Amino acid sequence: MLETNPGATRPRPSLGDAVRLAAWAYTPFQRLAARDLYGLLATRAFTANGLYLNLGYWKTARTIDEACEALATLVAEAAAMGPDDDVVDVGFGFADQDILWMERFAPRHITGLNVTPVQVRLARQRVQRRGLAEHITLIEGSATAMPLPDACCDIVTAVECAFHFHTREDFLAEAFRVLRPGGRLVLADVIRAAPEPDGWRQRVQDFNWNQFAQKFAVPAANADQRAPYTAKLRAAGFETVDVTPIGEHVFPGWHRALGHDRALFARLPLAGRLPYRLLLNFDARTVYGAFDYVLASARKPTQKGVLNGAA
């Protein structure tokens, strides 16, 4: 849990930004790049304490704050994060996950990359206030063109953001490049669900995916289902690839929380509240049936040839 007084770190959104967000939400086919979208959202985030921007992992969590921390923890545990690790975390939002990881898992260093300038600026201040500036370096930059040298880290993480990347394949190539041999990649990611057999449900799936892709800056190249997604991880050179669906612990919990937690609902941007109010009339399967939420992990091969040769 980060701030106990989030109001202090959440400046009121400007009227201009609120109008621009409403124009984005209600004008059909209007798109925003991820950087512009998150720039307009400014400090509107989901959690009461801290500024997480993910849907959360609700297996045991009872509040959005617990769920967002649980998702970050799940990713760190899947990466077996520990004191010997240099971590590169892409799409870090406001760095809540990086602060949590540094305090709970104590990796050697975390380098964060994020395309949204307002998030980078605020996240740096938060890391500084927490006394972690020596251990966490936050850079404005893209996951698809990392301003980092080859083989500089042991773990690459991406918490609920790789669907935005232009493209996810370019990011995988970059992750492979910056990882040391034997390094681990872990993503909490949103991909396309397999089509429902029922024609009506399939049309709802298509509509919901297309709306999501158009409004939330998802390139067409990232509309993979699980098998091609797994194949792309392998094609990038990774081994021991595992793609586990965890949507049953994400979407229903998030949907339930939006229906019951008035404070969470009130933290949504004004422009988003009407669409969400309508969506709450449907069950989670209908609303989120187009999406597969996955925890993906993979490893860069060790240089067996070199080690064997040296032995």
Ligand X SMILES: C[S@@+](CC[C@H](N)C(=O)[O-])C[C@H]1O[C@@H](n2cnc3c(N)ncnc32)[C@H](O)[C@@H]1O
Does 189 contact ligand X by CB under 6 A? no
Which residue type occupies 170? Answer: D
Rounded CA-CA distance 293/283 in Å is 17
> Does 73 interact with ligand X (rule: CB under 6 A)?
no
Which residues are paired to 245 by β-bridges? 294
Looking only at the bridges linking them, the beta strands covering 109-114 and 136-140 are parallel
Pick the stretch among 13-21, 84-92, 218-226, 262-270 that binds ligand X (CB under 6 A): 84-92
* Chosen residue from 57, 58, 92, 105 binding ligand X by CB under 6 A: 92
* Residue 235 burial (CB count, 10 A): 12
**Binding flag, residue 34, ligand X (CB under 6 A):** yes
Minimum separation from the CB atom of position 1 to ligand X (A): 14
Is residue 27 reached through a cis peptide bond, with omega within 30 degrees of 0 on the bond before it?
A: no
Residue 293 as a binder of ligand X (CB under 6 A): the answer is no
174 scored as a contact of ligand X (CB under 6 A) = no
Tell me the pairing of strands 291-299 and 239-245.
antiparallel
Give the span between the Cα atoms of 66 and 222, in whole angstroms: 29
Q: What is the dihedral of CA 184, 142, 243, 137, to 10 degrees?
A: 40
CB 43 within 8 A of CB 10: yes
State in angstroms the smallest separation of the CB of 225 from ligand X. Answer: 21
Using CB under 6 A as the binding rule, whether residue 53 contacts ligand X is answered as yes
CB of 54 to ligand X, least distance (A): 3
Q: What does DSSP assign to residue 50?
A: S
Q: Whole-angstrom Cα distance, residue 130 to residue 96? A: 11
Cα–Cα distance for residue pair 273/244, rounded to 1 Å: 31
Q: How many residues does the chain have?
A: 311
- CB 218, min distance to ligand X, A: 10
Does 113 sit near ligand X (CB under 6 A)? Answer: yes
Segment near ligand X (CB under 6 A); pick from 48-56, 99-107, 125-133, 199-207: 48-56
Q: Decide if residue 119 touches ligand X (CB under 6 A).
A: yes
Tell me the closest approach of the beta carbon of residue 55 to ligand X, in angstroms: 9
Of the candidate residues 160, 174, 224, 292, the single one contacting ligand X (CB under 6 A): 160
91 touches ligand X (CB under 6 A): yes
**212 is a site residue for ligand X (CB under 6 A):** no
Residue numbers at the binding site for ligand X (CB under 6 A): 34, 38, 52-54, 90-93, 96-97, 113-116, 119, 142-144, 159-161, 164-165
